[in-house]
Structure 1
Amino acid sequence: MIWRVAAFLAVLFWAVMSGLLVRDIYFPEASRFAIVPPRMVMDLFLQQSETFGCTLHLYHQREKIGHANFQVNRRIKPNHQTVYDLIAHGAVEQMASDDQLRSIVATWSLGCTLADAERWQQLSIKASFPQRDASMHLSWNEKQSSPEVLVKQGERVVMNSQDVKLLMSMGAGQDGALAMLSLMGGGLPKTEAQPDKTDTLKLQAREGMMVLAGRQRKCFVLTLPVMGMYEVKMIFTEAGELARIDLPDDYVLLEPTIHGLQDAAH
């Protein structure tokens, strides 16, 4: 149900920003991935996307089910802080009954601001589900303790920010967030120690050799932990081209050329 998805996203996001769900990211020693500044990777991506654009195809278990477009901008705020605005939008599709045409299941857009390409400052996610006449909007900035949420079906409000706060109040503080995640399918065990909240909001970047498009090549990996047991990995080529985004549950975003090479390799 739409409200269940919205509630899960809101509580999950609150918990991540509260420093509950981040674990150490494990890189095998043999991979010899070296830590690099995320800004270096974002600057390379900025140059590539300005010249060539960036469109990835969404796949689930080798079936194409949508696409996503990405853009990044860099600006300097009045306080002389450098921030990066990451903008993305896309669609999720499904095969129609005649097995020939695809219909739109959902459209979505995302906008976020990263201070020095490392720390989240604000986030906005919008999604619409035309077949269900439903929509969702989630927004957050670093001054808020919890996100603003609005879920509608037609003109009827299914869930808002007050409902999310009520869900959060069902438990006691941090334990309540973990309990709600468990109830809604998170299945998350409690962590023994909480990382610093500032560290929780940071992206991590590494550089090393890995197999991409069927061969070893130098790549950059930006990693964002999600839900403790999951992580989103954005893989860039040495030149800064966004080649792949690994998502939970066997979802993956692939640059079309890379995907064609992978198909040929298999």
Structure 2
Amino acid sequence: MRPHRRRPRIVVATVIAALLGSASTIGWYAVATQGPSDPAPPATPTRTVTKPPQSTPGSAPATSVQAASANPIDLARDLDRMRRLDVPSGGPREAVITGEATRQPDLYAAEFVRRLLTQDYRRPREDVLSWVQAESSPLADPLVIGLVPPDLRDRFAVDSVTDTTVGPAAVPSRGEWTALAASGAYRTVKVDRVIEPTAWTNAIQAGRITDPGTTARLVAATVTLHQRTGDHTSTAQFSVALSLDLEGPPTTADWRFVTAVTYTIIPAGGAS
């Protein structure tokens, strides 16, 4: 199965995300051509979505003029999607991250991704979304939020892990989740490594990041999908890379999730 590459879109994401290679942001705009792709099998999280970079580490940060150049139709579509997003209400059913992991960004990124991708499709999808919502950090810094209006900032994090505009999200759509639940599917995760992206460190050294509490990490992991068909239980392994923005000290007391920037998943063999 070949990797799938789709045309990027304007998304409601951070200006900082552009430094990490996001498809696009409200403050940044890029156009790319659609590459060849194969049809993806239904109800399995096996497609690859690699959101190509739209700026280089040496490029200038977004300005209000650049932000205004965003395609208004795409911008309106993304904002409308966020308005229609069902934000989980009430507290999370899963325990939030606590302790040592919240005091070091590498540890927090690893634990967040491990928990996010460890999905039991036999349980409600809303359990994962309410946990993401509880882990999220509310922000008002215009460099981070971009053109996300105040009334939509409470759904910034959940939107980033569920948006399927260009392909699968870290959390499968409601329909995919239901189909996987029918086969008793669940996923286990092993985090392989956590790195601070070079583009991010270059931006820090260049003085382009002004919030001392904002950082970024790229987490590589091995995900195993377990499914049952009749009397047969099968497993399939995938390599996953997820980059994310975090907010922590000194801006906030502990490290918390801001947004998922890129999500790539490809078959890694090891099927049985």
Bin of the TM-score, shorter chain as denominator length: under 0.3
Higher helix residue share: 2
Identify the structure with the greater strand proportion. Answer: 1
- The alignment's TM-score, normalised by the length of structure 1, stands at 0.27
Larger radius of gyration: 1
